[in-house]
């Protein structure tokens, strides 16, 4: 262990010792105060007054309370440290919007408790009248905290609905975050699209998506393992580039098991858009009213437009479904059905486009050999 580590450990020990001393002093002072008031009570009641002088009795109680406080200092410090550690862990795992909703509900509960307590104090109810504000504050505050954390989405829709509408038409506002799913990361085209500048805003990679990528990369299946490693390489590539801002969001919805449902929930919480290649996730997002950016739809939209009558040079590679047809492909994978092209299999020929068919599965081009056109 080097000198820097020794210094760090020494500073950490000094901080811990100072905190223990502080807690012991506070508890000793509190114990001494309780001892003083206890001595006054005993003295007034006359229980030990005949055995001890009032001065000795007070000193004895103060000394006893201070010693008890000092003895309890270390155990109390350990309990406080453990409790604060658990509290911080829970708070870090809790989504920010849930914390904000809980605080709003807590404040509303306290306001209601204050409003209800005022007339009750005026009535001066015996026995419990003075404690009603405290009781109502605890009960309504707890109810508001629970309801606010669970109804956080409704709270934000009420308070920020008009602001969201205004921002949706404000072209100068910050772009919405883009939430990446596993399929689009493994696909890899997201890196080139981001580099081109067509995607604005932060790229959000949820923690549960990153975990899924790691599981795929650790799979025993070779194909799955290669796909998972490719996805991790794509993420590293995007993070290192200056043109993109990638954020890892550690927001795990433990009550939800499906990754697609978690993505939809996260998109609602962040008011963002889901970037995906998954057809099923696309439909789920549409049902929930979440905006989707589908890379496959983008690829189909930017494919070069081929018009009837244009000439192409293609390499016919196999038979078509109909008699005499041949099949060729463009560089982007678009299938070309060549009428009468069977005899040109294995050859590169010039063809003329006769028609273009656009389907949900993609674009299909029909053509015929240029030599047939000349013959006619």
| pLDDT value of residue 155 | 58
Burial class of 353 by CB neighbour count within 10 A (0 to 12, 13 to 18, 19+) = middle
Strands 273-276 and 362-369 turn out to be unpaired
| pLDDT value of residue 55 | 59
Report the C-alpha dihedral over residues 227, 229, 231, 234, rounded to 10 degrees: -130
CA 268 – CA 291 distance, rounded (Å): 9
| pLDDT value of residue 336 | 92
| pLDDT value of residue 12 | 59
Three-state SS at 287: helix
| CB contact burial 313-344 (16+ within 10 A = b; e otherwise) | ebebeeebeeeebbbbeeeeebbbbbbbbbeb
**Using an 8 Å Cβ cutoff, are 341 and 328 in contact?**
yes
| pLDDT value of residue 356 | 85
| pLDDT value of residue 164 | 42
Three-state SS at 51: coil
| Closest residue by Cα to residue 255 from 208, 214, 216 | 208
| Closest residue by Cα to residue 21 from 69, 85, 86 | 69
* pLDDT tens, the chain, 376 aa long: 444 454 555 555 565 667 667 777 777 777 777 777 776 666 665 555 555 555 566 677 777 777 777 777 667 767 777 776 777 776 666 666 677 777 888 888 888 888 888 777 776 666 656 777 778 888 888 888 888 777 666 655 555 544 444 434 333 445 788 898 888 888 888 888 888 777 777 888 888 888 888 888 888 888 888 888 988 888 888 887 777 778 888 877 777 878 888 888 888 888 889 998 888 888 888 888 888 898 888 877 776 677 888 888 999 999 888 888 999 988 767 889 999 989 899 999 999 999 988 765 667 899 999 877 655 4
Q: What is the DSSP string of 157-173?
A: HHHHHHHHHHHHT-TTS
What angle, rounded to 10 degrees, do the helices at 132-150 and 96-123 form? 150
- Which stretches of 128-230 are assigned E, i.e. beta strand? 178-180, 203-206
Measured CA to CA in angstroms, residue 246 lies from 177, 243, 303, 318 at distances of 10, 10, 28, 44
Look up residue 139 and give its two tokens: 């009960």
């Amino acid at each position: 262990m080097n000198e820097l580590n020794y210094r760090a450990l020494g500073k950490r020990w000094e901080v811990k010792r100072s905190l223990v001393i502080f807690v012991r002093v506070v508890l000793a002072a509190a114990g001494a105060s309780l001892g003083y008031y206890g001595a006054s009570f005993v003295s007034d009641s006359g229980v030990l007054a005949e055995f001890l002088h009032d001065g000795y009795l007070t000193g004895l109680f103060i000394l006893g309370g201070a010693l008890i406080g000092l003895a309890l200092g270390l155990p109390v410090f350990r309990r406080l440290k453990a409790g604060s550690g658990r509290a911080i862990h829970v708070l870090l795992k809790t989504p920010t919007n849930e914390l904000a909703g809980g605080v709003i509900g807590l404040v509303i509960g306290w306001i209601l408790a204050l409003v209800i307590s005022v007339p009750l104090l005026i009535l001066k109810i015996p026995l419990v009248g003075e404690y009603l504000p405290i009781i109502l504050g605890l009960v309504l505050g707890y109810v508001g905290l629970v309801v606010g954390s669970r109804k956080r989405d409704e709270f934000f829709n009420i308070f920020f609905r008009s602001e969201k509408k205004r921002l949706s038409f404000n072209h100068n506002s910050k772009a919405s975050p883009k939430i990446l799913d596993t399929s689009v990361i493994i696909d890899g085209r997201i890196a080139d699209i981001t580099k081109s500048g067509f995607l604005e805003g932060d790229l959000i990679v949820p923690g549960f998506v990153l975990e899924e990528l790691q599981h795929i990369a650790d799979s025993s299946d070779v194909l799955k393992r290669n796909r998972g490693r490719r996805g991790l390489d794509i993420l590293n590539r995007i993070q290192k580039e200056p043109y993109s801002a990638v954020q890892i969001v550690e927001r795990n919805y433990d009550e939800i098991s499906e990754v697609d449902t978690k993505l939809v929930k996260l998109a609602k919480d962040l008011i963002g858009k889901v970037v995906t290649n998954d057809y099923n996730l696309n439909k789920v997002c549409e049902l929930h009213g979440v905006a989707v950016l589908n890379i496959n739809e983008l690829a189909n939209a930017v494919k070069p437009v081929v018009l009837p009558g244009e000439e192409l040079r293609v390499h016919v590679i196999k038979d078509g479904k109909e008699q005499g047809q041949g099949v060729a492909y463009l560089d982007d994978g678009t299938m070309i059905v060549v009428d009468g092209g069977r005899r040109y299999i294995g050859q590169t020929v010039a063809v003329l486009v006769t028609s273009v068919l656009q389907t949900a599965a993609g674009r299909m081009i029909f053509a015929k050999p240029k030599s047939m056109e000349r013959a006619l």
